[in-house]
Amino acid sequence: MPLTLVTALRSVTGAHRAGNEDSAACAPGFALVADGVGGHAGGDVASGTVAHRLVAAVDEPGHDRPGAAELRAAVEAANDELAQRARSQPELAGMATTLTGIFCADDAVRLVHVGDSRAYRWRDGHGRRVSRDDSLVQMLVEEGVIAPADAARHPRRNVILHCLAGDAADPAHVTVADVDARPGDRWLLATDGLTDYVPEHHVLALLGAAGSPEEAAEALVRTALDADAWDNVSVVVADVVEADPDTHPAGHAARVAGAAARDAGGEALDPTA
């Protein structure tokens, strides 16, 4: 039986930022987050552009369960659009974004990832991180230079090594991988406004303890805000269920928030507003 998602989305600016550079989107066929890289011009434009391009790709007829090649083509198109916008609007030069998303296949989800936004899966009472951070600190941990326990407090933990910034080489660094899925799995896609301020074990505990995706998303964002997160916080929680064969998996009413919502003429979903 094909699989689909029951999703909940939250994206908040937080108390310490003037605007929201994150974007997030979800529908029954997919969930994703993108984080405009801090310190660069147009981070909100970058994340919104990439989010909208991926949503549009999976919402085309016949592409509601995209294969790896289709997802890579959508990422390349999004990256090309970043380059075009930077050329036509010099004030956007240097903009960049992370991207982490899952897309339904028949008996798996396809993970698309670049940067340091994260994907977690909760299954049978246990949770684990599925994505790998494209970050300096992750590289230092893997090389044995620093201990994993020190990574969360490292002064350069926000330095990322790969992202989407419009460079022709960027898509080659994007991971696209099938991950087995089954009904009962719960996924979390989150920007580092959550994971930099809430310890991973606490993130996983909240993810598993909540009764529904809505409750989980609300608890995760509230915990990040209570921890005085200095960044935007965006999460999508997605429960894997069996699909109704008569329902279009991706749907034509994808929920978007953050920069992507504003680009579409809407408003960011912010429970603190």
Domain 8-263: assigned CATH number: 3.60.40.10
* Close Cβ partners of 8 (under 8 Å, ≥ 6 residues apart): 26, 212, 213, 214, 216, 217, 218, 236, 237, 238
- pLDDT, mean of residues 198-203: 96
Does this model's pTM top 0.95?
A: no
Share of the chain above pLDDT 90, in %: 70
Mean pLDDT for the chain overall: 88
Query: pLDDT tens-digit profile of 213-270?
Result: 999 999 999 999 999 999 999 999 999 999 876 655 555 467 787 767 665 544 344 3
Query: pLDDT tens-digit profile of 33-73?
Result: 999 986 667 999 999 999 999 999 888 766 678 999 999 99
CB-based burial label for 142 (10 Å; 0-12, 13-18, 19+): exposed
Cα–Cα distance measured from residue 47 to residue 79, given in angstroms and rounded to the nearest whole number = 11
